[in-house]
Structure 1
Amino acid sequence: MNVQNVLKEKQKIINEHLSALLVSDSPSHHTLYQAMNYSLLAGGKRIRPTLFLLVLDMLGVNSSRYLDIACAIECIHTYSLIHDDLPCMDNDDYRRGRLTNHKVFGPAMATLAGDGLLTYAFELLTSGSQISPVKQSRLVY
């Protein structure tokens, strides 16, 4: 298997896992979750989580057990992009060929979406039972 195929396979796994994460069962949270997913699922190369999983594979660790951590990395990255695009920062209109979050949902909701992704990343880092509480606290630290 060549490098391109390995990267595409990891990207596919990460995308599938990400798409199942942020689902609201509360109608009052619908717009927030929609804004979070709008940017999180907008595509991208998923380089950061892919590299994390590949390093685990190279170390002989079952990387599939650490998908939540890989997705937490992507949540943090996406949060930074949403906030970077805001009118008070770079005021970008497009990200990855699509309207930026604040252009679709407004600056306030985009700020909340970014904040929500950052906070959710910490939940992902600390919710896995396969990792000891000591290691979870180190991940957060």
Structure 2
Amino acid sequence: MLERVPYWLLAIPLRLAVATVFWNSAMTKLANWDAALQLFREEYRLPLLPPDVAAHLAVSIELSMPVLLLLGLGVRPAALVLLGMTSVIEIFVYPQAWPTHIQWAAMLLVLLCRGAGAVSLDHLIRQRWSKAPASGQGG
């Protein structure tokens, strides 16, 4: 009986849960930007990116991707971006936090593989696009 639960019903809490994690992280950084920059300079120390650039990039991702997830717009690309960010955090910043990161990754992998579900802008756009008449055809 549980196998008949529609995917969209499962996708909504997945999208909400992942969006909340990253949105809250952005809000924490923005609440004290100087402290956030200090973390990127002293604790996070990502390779190849200057701390200020990394901080701005991280907050930009943490603000934009959750909005896309909540709207159900571009969910697969958003999930891929957040999966990449999760990987960077796991590999370079907090490798000991893998139990948390694997939960994020599992949710993001489901969204990446299955998409937003039927209750999403992605679904609405796909429906409209498939119903649009092909240009240059007909009489």
Query: TM-score scaled by structure 2?
Result: 0.36
Return the structure number with greater helix share: 2
Q: Comparing both chains, which one has the higher relative contact order based on Cα–Cα distances under 8 Å and sequence gaps of 6 or more?
A: 2
Larger Rg: 2
Query: TM-score scaled by structure 1?
Result: 0.35
